[in-house]
């Protein structure tokens, strides 16, 4: 039986352990490749958030009090369920998100691994003994933050939701998940069903699709102590401001404009293979997408010619019915933003070496050569299948241009001299670096996050980052006899 078989989820949200009608009504789930309606989702309101927050706070206390093997077992079962229901979930991912099958498979692999990694967290040491100048036992202990809100985006909804949901749950928190309404089945309903089937107690995970009002309520609700947000930098700034006013922690994984430095000793064909994947994978709708190609003058012309040729041959179409390398852009608004940046950059002198056109929501993989650093495709996050290329005359120039961006998420460097690549990377502030690889990588046990306008640092991945993100530190002392004081 499938995850959604026999479950009355259509037009519903998941609140308080029940599939129920949201106060905002419902809306259609649309397949971007065809425009077909795939189903209906419930729409939450701020009032739903208030009710979910109260019930989550109550459920969290009981969940956190369970023996650690019980929490670990739920996470392990969740990991198994991602694998058992891979075909069903992948089908939704392909149709609702527009992901090609390879991307859908990767997302499912990461989701299972995130749960297995999180399953190790409940049994980890959660404190330390401290020396004290008093005759007492002094210790620092990590305790659950309480209720965590997770706000995830449309582009990779499974990964960008589960990497917060799984560790937050494992560490004894309750979670209220707000997926992007455009991909709420893949990023919300299926995730809620996974944990429901895994035996998570009612109310510990709730799922509320909604708009900006729901997002703001998830930041301001008094029951919620930590906000984990993945999305655009402008929205992240707004969430950070509101969270600051309410004295809450906000973990912000934001936009990027990641650079790929192709040094003068690089193998051109290898570099082109990396560049195409980095810029065109998942239609370029990834925060780590290679957004700027800084290529050494000696191999620049070869690089442009071969990347343009490769881009021109990549098939684009409906990933549910065709074997393609790129599927559709999520919606017309995002497509038009991409095209606006491409045409504006061409107007400022960039050469469209390949692509630059679209049919419906299918945007051709685009190569822009000779891109001025003032052009929007170089300076801004495009979030589409566009590879802007700029010629550099020296490593120093490449370093300067790579570091001049306001973003600082991921960095790729292609060179035959690995130590040289590492020395170059040390001069460019980013949260992630890959030598002889492109900029799009993710593993469940690795810390993930950016600096500058890309976010507030590594708040996901690996036990240290996850424990820091989703717990609080409590100081505890114990004496055999009550202390005495002068008065």
The catalytic site residues sit at 253, 287
Instruction: Choose among 290, 461, 289, 300: nearest CA to 369.
Output: 300
Distance separating alpha carbons of residues 376 and 304, to the nearest angstrom:
19
Own/partner contacts of 86-89, CB < 8 Å, gap of 24 or more, are: 88/2, 88/3, 88/4, 89/3, 89/158, 89/186, 89/190
In degrees and rounded to multiples of 5, residue 241 shows phi and psi of -65, -45
* Helix H or strand E segment including 57: helix 46-64
Cα atoms found within 13 Å of the Cα of residue 12, Cβ hemisphere only: 17
- CA–CA separation, 38 and 106 (whole Å): 23
Cα pseudo-dihedral 78, 79, 80, 82, rounded to 10: 90
Contact 233/435 with Cβ under 8 angstroms?
A: no
**Best CA proximity match to 447, nearest among 422, 469, 419:** 469
- According to DSSP, residue 16 is labeled T
SS3 150: strand
- Asked if 176 contacts 49 with a C-beta cutoff of 8 angstroms, the reply is yes
3-class SS of residue 84: helix
Cβ atoms of 471 and 144 within 8 Å: the answer is yes
Helical packing angle, 101-119 and 157-170, nearest 10°: 10
Buried b (16+ CB within 10 A) or exposed e, 77-103: bbbbbbeebbebbbebbbbbbbbbbeb
10 Å Cβ neighbour count for 464?
Answer: 11
Beta strand pairing call for 386-392 and 366-369: parallel
């Amino acid at each position: 039986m499938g995850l959604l078989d026999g479950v009355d989820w259509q037009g519903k949200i998941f609140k308080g352990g029940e599939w129920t009608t949201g106060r905002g009504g419902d809306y259609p789930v649309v397949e971007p490749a065809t425009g077909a309606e795939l189903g209906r989702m419930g729409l939450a309101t701020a009032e739903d958030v208030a009710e979910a927050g109260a019930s989550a706070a109550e459920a969290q206390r009981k969940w956190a009090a369970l023996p650690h093997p019980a929490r670990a077992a739920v996470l392990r079962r969740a990991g198994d369920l991602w694998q058992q229901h891979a075909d069903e979930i992948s089908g939704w991912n392909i149709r609702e998100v527009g992901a090609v099958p390879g991307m859908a498979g990767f997302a499912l692999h990461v989701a299972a691994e995130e749960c297995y990694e999180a399953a190790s967290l409940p049994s980890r040491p959660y404190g330390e003994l401290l020396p004290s100048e008093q005759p007492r036992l002094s210790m620092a202990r990590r305790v659950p933050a309480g209720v965590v809100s997770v706000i995830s985006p449309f582009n990779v909804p499974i990964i960008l939701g589960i990497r917060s949901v799984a560790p937050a749950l494992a560490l004894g928190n309750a979670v209220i998940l707000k997926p992007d309404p455009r991909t709420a089945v893949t990023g919300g309903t299926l995730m809620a069903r996974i944990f429901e089937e895994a035996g998570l107690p009612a109310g510990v995970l709730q799922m509320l699709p909604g708009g900006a009002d729901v997002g703001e309520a998830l930041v301001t609700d008094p029951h919620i102590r930590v906000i984990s947000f993945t999305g655009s930098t402008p929205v992240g700034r707004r969430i950070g401001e509101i969270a600051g006013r309410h004295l809450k922690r906000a973990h912000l994984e934001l936009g990027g404009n990641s650079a790929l430095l192709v040094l003068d000793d690089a193998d051109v064909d290898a570099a082109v293979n990396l560049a195409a994947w980095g810029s065109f994978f998942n239609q370029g709708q990834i925060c780590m997408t290679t957004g700027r190609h800084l290529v050494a003058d000696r191999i620049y012309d070869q690089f442009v010619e071969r990347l343009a040729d490769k881009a021109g041959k990549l098939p684009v179409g409906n990933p549910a019915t065709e074997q393609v390398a790129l599927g559709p852009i999520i919606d017309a608004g995002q497509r038009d933003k991409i095209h606006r940046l491409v045409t504006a950059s061409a107007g400022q002198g960039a050469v469209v070496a390949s692509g630059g056109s679209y049919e419906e929501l299918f945007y051709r993989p685009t190569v822009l050569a000779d891109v001025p650093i003032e052009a929007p495709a170089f300076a801004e996050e495009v979030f589409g299948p566009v590879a802007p290329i700029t010629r550099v005359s020296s490593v120093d120039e490449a370093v300067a241009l790579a570091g001049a961006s306001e973003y600082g998420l991921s960095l790729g460097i292609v060179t035959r001299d690995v130590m040289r690549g590492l020395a170059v990377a040390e001069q460019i502030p980013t949260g992630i670096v890959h030598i002889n690889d492109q900029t799009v990588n993710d593993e469940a046990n690795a810390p993930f996050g950016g600096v500058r306008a890309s976010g507030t640092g590594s708040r996901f991945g690996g036990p240290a980052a996850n424990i820091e993100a989703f717990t609080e530190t409590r100081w505890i002392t114990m004496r055999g006899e009550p202390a005495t004081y002068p008065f």
